[in-house]
Structure 1
Amino acid sequence: MDAVGARAVPAVNVTPGELVRSARKEQRLTLAQLGAVTGYSAAQVSRYERGVSPLTDVVVLRRFADALGIAPQALGLTPQPDVRHGRVIGPTAAYPRLPGPRVADTNREDGEDPVRRRQLLANLAVTAVAAAGAPLTSGGKPPVHEAALGDVLIGRLRDAMLGLHHDIAVPPAAALHTELARALADFHTCRYGSLAVRLPRLICAAHARATDGDGLEHGGLLARSYLLATRMLIKLDEQQLGWMAADRARQTADASGAPLLVAEAARQLAVLARKAGWHGQAMSLALTAADHPGLRSGGPACAAERGLLIQSAAYTAARAGDADGMRELTDEAAAIADELGGTTLLRDHGGGFSPITVQLHLVSAENSAGDPSAALAAAQAVAPRNLPSTERRARYYTDIATAFARWNRRDECIRALLAAEHHAPEETHARPAVKSLVSGLLVSGRTTTELRGLAARVGVLAR
């Protein structure tokens, strides 16, 4: 329905969602009928009307205004822009394309101890070579500074994104895809020493190939590399670089034209928005992407990505203090997982999507909602051995450790952290969330030999 000449709907003390609901009911449309016209599911239209999902996005508001004949001004919109010969006249918000890095040779130490940094990077290089199966020149095993892995990985990703790696050999395109598969395997198995060498080099080499016109942007290699970098930076609580990586992931995903990559980039932007405290924007990013026609009309992988996006929105609801909304959205994600038959899909997106990963996500969400007893109850339905990766198993034990800590069950918290360390020592030692948890245990009560040893290994207590 054309909104031109439409009647104005009173907007005093009425939310946009209430205006939409009023206009829909007046025209005797069901949620499903309005969703079919606007391109959203009935559930999403209901969330917009009830304010569960903030109705703030200009594109979404225009869709409802056009479909229901609501005057744009009633929804806080300006009139449609002037369009001449198929072009919008006036300011636009086109997303900029990403140029290849052009920075030449540098010799900076960035304020770090040069000797210590060179030693760390040498050790990490040996670790990466070993992980790749290449022979080592030395017969001895170098010491692994796992507590410092996070800082080293952040530093190397920073330099790669700034174009400061100048000694990178550029292999053929097929070899780069193999390297990406190895980098993803490093992430899933929590081999961060290897990842700290492999992923930055991959990003630099992929940029060089894309700049040479090899068309890797269309194959999604750069997008997938930046998506992995974003996940790692989020895990390491490096939000500043995380935004930079997520921005590039979005650009390269858009360039690839792959709906799954575009949706995953939106999911990671939503995670960063949530961590910044922008709950309304995070919810809008996730749920709008979940209802994109490109996902709704796709196959099982697209359905799984929708589930991951709805999961992300559930976690945001928990962080915003809306436990009921969190559980409603989690139930919606669980229903999608059940419809997919229980198989884990999209292992490289958010750790995979299946009924058990939805349940694991519920453990984290209940913790965020401030209900450790509900988190532990949810954890009882998760068999760690059935989780799809080492990284997800480490997340499970860290989540239940968090719940035990909030309940002041110190011994059980420490046992859970030791279990996480057993499965994924590099993840446990490098992750800031674990460091914070261990620091809290040190200052909040009695210490044991086990706790002091763990504290030393994660780098919060001098040996």
Structure 2
Amino acid sequence: MSKNLGTLVRSARVAHGWTQRDLADHLHCSRSTVSRLETGAQPLGDIATLRRLAKVLQISPTALGITATVTVQPLAEDDVRRRQLLTNLAVTAAAASPPARAIASAAADAQGRPKDLLVTRVRSAMLTTGSATAPIPPTPLRATLASAIRAYDNCEYTKLATALPQLITNAHATCSTTDTVLAETYTLVTRLMIKLDDQLGWVAADRARSLATACGDPLVAGEAARNLAVLARRAGWHSEAEQIAIGMAEDDMLQGRDSARTAERGLLVMSAAYTAAHAADHSGMRQLTEQAAALAAHLGGKVLLRDHGSGFSPTAVQLHRISAEYAAGDPAAAIAAARKIPPRALPTVERRARYFTDVARAYGMWGRRDQCLQALLHAERAAPQETHSRPAVRGLVTGLLTSGQTSPDLRGLAARCGIR
């Protein structure tokens, strides 16, 4: 099997929302076999296996080189047909699924990038391999946390690479396990590592939830649970992810008339809705989204909990609709939702970058390459450090590069993202 065929198999797999393990289970083989097939390391000339692969992935057998007379065509004769299929599959796969780890190694040679520096320093601080520090007064520590949150909202990864590790170290030196600053610090780390698709997110999420339980603050506990639900969803554990989010939203500590607690419930309900979309529960997604919209309307349209991922508001619910609709497989509905939001009305740089990235993913799923690229360029202009670092963007750019004609704008964006 050639690398081109391997790319087709990988793209079709990701378009289904499957991991390599999922495909291996369908094919009754090992995950390592699927990996070798996708990289082209394992040639595949067995017609029966090729046919089973085509059937499982729901793609034409001819795309895998199988003719009506069950002969394998030379690659050169089938390139046009296969490339046409890749045009939709590769971009759709990158748009419709969590960031594909299969492309990470190809882009990991970007030494010295803000993301690499940030993750390395945060890891060092979390594993206590950095230098120790003396305790500092609570007020400056709280101000440092607020500054780190602003840097996150502004997508300033270079600034976070300095501020966040120091915050972790100082918070451990200063805070007890019942202090909300330490729990909020790890909540911020979790949120960032989710965005960067880094496994440190699991460590940070576990610490955040333990610390949130110890301090007993309902809003901190709600955010810790929401981030854990996101990680569970990304792992493909949809039932558990929805249970975590809905369970926390219905917890007694978030009930009552307090507007901040109502807003946290809304954020958790939106998380559950997005999980329902990934689980192909379209009606459940829309029902939960309407529930979140009702909570936002009940709060009078105000933006609450700005430090919780830019907050909860009717605009936040509308922004959520974009990602939820494309995750549910309806890019037209996603774009329709996007057209109701003026990007400049979004409260932070991070939200604007997310808006354009979500729009790009929807256009990618729709097969509209030009609009996808333009949305990515808008995201880059809004937040260059985040756009160049996010695996979601790298997946889209890689899909565009491998699925059709390239342009100077696309090649320039790929180079700036460290994709060769």
Interval of TM-score (by shorter of Structure 1 and Structure 2): 0.7 to 0.9
Matching of residues 365-380 of structure 1 within 5 Å: 365-380=324-339
Query: What does the per-residue CA deviation read over 1:63-116, in whole Å, with 9 as the maximum and x for residues that have no partner?
Result: xxxxxxxxxxxxxxxxxxxxxxxxxxxxxxxxxxxxxxxxxxxxxxxxxxxxx9
Query: What does the per-residue CA deviation read over 1:223-250, in whole Å, with 9 as the maximum and x for residues that have no partner?
Result: 1100000000000011x21111000001
Instruction: Tell me by how many angstroms 1:298 deviates.
Output: 4.8
Instruction: Tell me by how many angstroms 1:173 deviates.
Output: 2.1
Asked which structure has the greater RCO (Cα within 8 Å, sep 6+), the reply is 2
Q: 1:448 aligns to what?
A: 407
Matching of residues 121-140 of structure 1 within 5 Å: none
Q: 1:229 aligns to what?
A: 189
Matching of residues 172-211 of structure 1 within 5 Å: 172-210=137-175
Query: What does the per-residue CA deviation read over 1:403-430, in whole Å, with 9 as the maximum and x for residues that have no partner?
Result: 1111221111111111111111111011
Query: Unaligned stretches of 5+ in structure 2?
Result: 1-109
Determine whether 1:266 maps to 2:231: no
Q: Distance in 2 between matches of 1:320 and 1:208?
A: 42
Number of aligned residue pairs: 311
Q: Distance in 2 between matches of 1:163 and 1:304?
A: 35
Q: Distance in 2 between matches of 1:370 and 1:343?
A: 30
Q: Distance in 1 between matches of 2:236 and 2:372?
A: 27
Q: 1:153 aligns to what?
A: 118
Q: 1:315 aligns to what?
A: 274
Q: Distance in 2 between matches of 1:355 and 1:342?
A: 6
Q: 2:25 aligns to what?
A: none
Q: Distance in 1 between matches of 2:326 and 2:310?
A: 19
Instruction: Tell me by how many angstroms 1:175 deviates.
Output: 1.4
Q: RMSD value over aligned CA atoms? A: 1.4
Q: Distance in 2 between matches of 1:167 and 1:257?
A: 28
Q: 1:407 aligns to what?
A: 366
Q: State the TM-score, normalizing by the size of structure 2.
A: 0.72
Determine whether 1:338 maps to 2:281: no
Assess if the C-alpha contact under 8 Å between 1:308 and 1:350 holds in 2: no
Q: Distance in 1 between matches of 2:206 and 2:305?
A: 21
What amino acid maps onto 2:340 in structure 1? A
Instruction: Tell me by how many angstroms 1:266 deviates.
Output: 0.8
Matching of residues 49-128 of structure 1 within 5 Å: 120=112
Q: Distance in 2 between matches of 1:350 and 1:391?
A: 9
What amino acid maps onto 1:152 in structure 2? L
Q: Distance in 2 between matches of 1:436 and 1:459?
A: 12
Query: What does the per-residue CA deviation read over 1:2-39, in whole Å, with 9 as the maximum and x for residues that have no partner?
Result: xxxxxxxxxxxxxxxxxxxxxxxxxxxxxxxxxxxxxx
Instruction: Tell me by how many angstroms 1:313 deviates.
Output: 0.3
Greater fraction of residues in helix: 2
Percent identity, aligned pairs only, is 55
Query: What does the per-residue CA deviation read over 1:138-172, in whole Å, with 9 as the maximum and x for residues that have no partner?
Result: xxxxxxxxxx2222222211111111111545432
Query: Which has more radius of gyration?
Result: 1
Assess if the C-alpha contact under 8 Å between 1:344 and 1:388 holds in 2: no
Determine whether 1:301 maps to 2:266: no
Instruction: Tell me by how many angstroms 1:263 deviates.
Output: 1.2
Q: Distance in 1 between matches of 2:273 and 2:256?
A: 23
CA pair 259-298 structure 1, distance change in 2 beyond 3 A: farther
Determine whether 1:252 maps to 2:217: no
Q: Distance in 2 between matches of 1:220 and 1:207?
A: 12
Q: Distance in 2 between matches of 1:342 and 1:219?
A: 31
Instruction: Tell me by how many angstroms 1:400 deviates.
Output: 0.6
What amino acid maps onto 1:304 in structure 2? A
Q: Distance in 1 between matches of 2:333 and 2:186?
A: 35
Q: 1:383 aligns to what?
A: 342
Q: Distance in 2 between matches of 1:347 and 1:227?
A: 14
Q: Distance in 2 between matches of 1:320 and 1:424?
A: 30
Q: Distance in 2 between matches of 1:279 and 1:353?
A: 23
Query: What does the per-residue CA deviation read over 1:180-204, in whole Å, with 9 as the maximum and x for residues that have no partner?
Result: 0110000000001100111111011
Q: State the TM-score, normalizing by the size of structure 1.
A: 0.66
